[in-house]
Chains A and B, each alone.
Chain A
């Protein structure tokens, strides 16, 4: 088996002197595979993403980028391989979408950030790939939430990454835009071969799009694998602390229906 693009081995991580948030997580992101992380609030999803991004140092265990310890990879070199999309698209300065997407080329350029032919091509391709070409001359605050998130994904794509990390990219989007963004992320994994790690907040949406699910609880992996294997009512009950029914929709992984436990 080939080396995973990005891999966590026995990852323990946390903040300051506080107790560790992640307590031994194993995770491998492979070429063309869309992995979605699920779990209740406080399970350590964002911490996992930050450790995989290299902004948080592991306390124990390792994060490996193509077999090399991530913290030893120089930032610019890392940025040519790993891209990140935050939860809420923000731009403090009034740049157009095309200018924002062009910033994805930062680690490929000299200090002045002057674009080469290859840079321009990568930007236009990323715009076209994410359907953001028509938005290219608008600023972020003129876009809907879904459009803005597509622009941010285009910016990440212009980085020409082999790994894409997304932090709940749909948490503030309406139903249609949630689907749009998840479809896009899946296509990037399957058609462009990007290894994708996405934090999800909607179990059903994640299950229908992702190739693999990872259930986190209290900083540990409760279950990991293809959606059909992970989605078992007793596992989900333990993970979220609710009663769970699974409904077979007939055309894919089971639908999850949650009920609050009585007396809680």
Chain B
């Protein structure tokens, strides 16, 4: 039997997991080939921090989307929100905007715009007579991902060859090691992700009621349409922050919430906290593995997005098959 969630248990959960995150952050910062000079330490610490932020954003977004559409396959990458945000980011880098506005402002905003438009398009396609068709939702995500990929290729036409090399690394989901040089962007991304996380936690109880169907949730005092819209905006903002930093890192929002649900059960308040922070730990560890493997073998670094896609693709198919075989996914 699961124990009831009380304020004390919730606080203990958050504090304990933040402690674990801090330990993992410190540990990952120590690992690496180069000697720890203060300068190396600073860059590495910020890189591990970025990885944690990205994991937190993507995993808690996954929890929220899965609750919202009552489908464990929903996730920012699968639904195309990440690629939409990617179009926004590349648009910002291809256009000469630096002269007009600072990067910490344009990049998250354009990413948010791209993510939100994609989110609403996918949502609109999957609506049928006021209901959401889960199969159409996934198909719409696939198609919109292909379309956004084409837009990204079009944007390449406007970039210099050196830029394109950078874009390709970014497009594979590469945790940045330059965040220390962009304090404005670091602050805006951190602010967006933490504010979004707090919002999702505060909506956890409302997500729970959605499982009873829209009509019952409505009768319990939840404004369902408004909840959907607000959550899409918030999830898009969190995804935008992650994508502005690292490009599209896929399937984190799928694997981590699923594992958390197996351990914790379906309560979205716990899931937002635990899956969010477990996502942070997961991406910190995964990125450290990618970084150090490259450093030791002497090859180029493997972008973390490649690792999550290699693990997440088969995982997605496994979940999908379970779901269509009528098993509880």
The answer to whether A92 touches B70 (Cβ under 8 A) is yes
In the complex, A96→B218 CA distance in Å? 21
Q: Which of A92, A104, A112 contacts B202 (CB 8 A)?
A: A112
Query: Measured between C-beta atoms, what is the minimum distance from B196 to chain A in Å?
Result: 15
Residue of B nearest to A107 (CB): B221
Query: Measured between C-beta atoms, what is the minimum distance from A141 to chain B in Å?
Result: 8
Indicate if A144 sits at the interface (CB-CB under 8 A): no
Which residues from chain A contact B70 at a C-beta distance below 8 Å? 92-93
Indicate if A137 sits at the interface (CB-CB under 8 A): yes
In the complex, A79→B221 CA distance in Å? 5
Which residues from chain B contact A84 at a C-beta distance below 8 Å? 215-216, 219
Interface size of B by CB at 8 A reads: 34
Interface size of A by CB at 8 A reads: 37
Which residues from chain B contact A107 at a C-beta distance below 8 Å? 220-221
Query: Measured between C-beta atoms, what is the minimum distance from A181 to chain B in Å?
Result: 17
Given the known inter-chain contacts A112-B204, A113-B204, A114-B7, please indicate yes or no for A90 contacting B213, CB distance below 8 A.
yes
The answer to whether A112 touches B209 (Cβ under 8 A) is no
> Which of B231-239, B244-252, B264-272 binds A?
B264-272
The answer to whether B211 touches A95 (Cβ under 8 A) is yes
Which residues from chain B contact A76 at a C-beta distance below 8 Å? 221
Segment 89-119 of A: residues with Cβ below 8 Å from B: 90-96, 99-100, 102-104, 106-107, 109, 111-115
Q: Which of A106, A111, A112 contacts B220 (CB 8 A)?
A: A106
The answer to whether A94 touches B328 (Cβ under 8 A) is yes
Query: Measured between C-beta atoms, what is the minimum distance from B130 to chain A in Å?
Result: 10
Query: Measured between C-beta atoms, what is the minimum distance from B133 to chain A in Å?
Result: 15
Indicate if A83 sits at the interface (CB-CB under 8 A): yes
Indicate if A86 sits at the interface (CB-CB under 8 A): yes
The answer to whether A114 touches B204 (Cβ under 8 A) is no
The answer to whether B222 touches A106 (Cβ under 8 A) is yes
Query: Measured between C-beta atoms, what is the minimum distance from B38 to chain A in Å?
Result: 41
A92-B211, A94-B328, A106-B206 are known; give 6 further A-B pairs, CB within 8 A.
A75-B222, A80-B221, A83-B219, A90-B211, A93-B211, A95-B267
The interface of chain A, by Cβ under 8 A from chain B, is: 50, 53, 55, 75-80, 82-84, 86, 90-96, 99-100, 102-104, 106-107, 109, 111-115, 120, 137, 155, 159
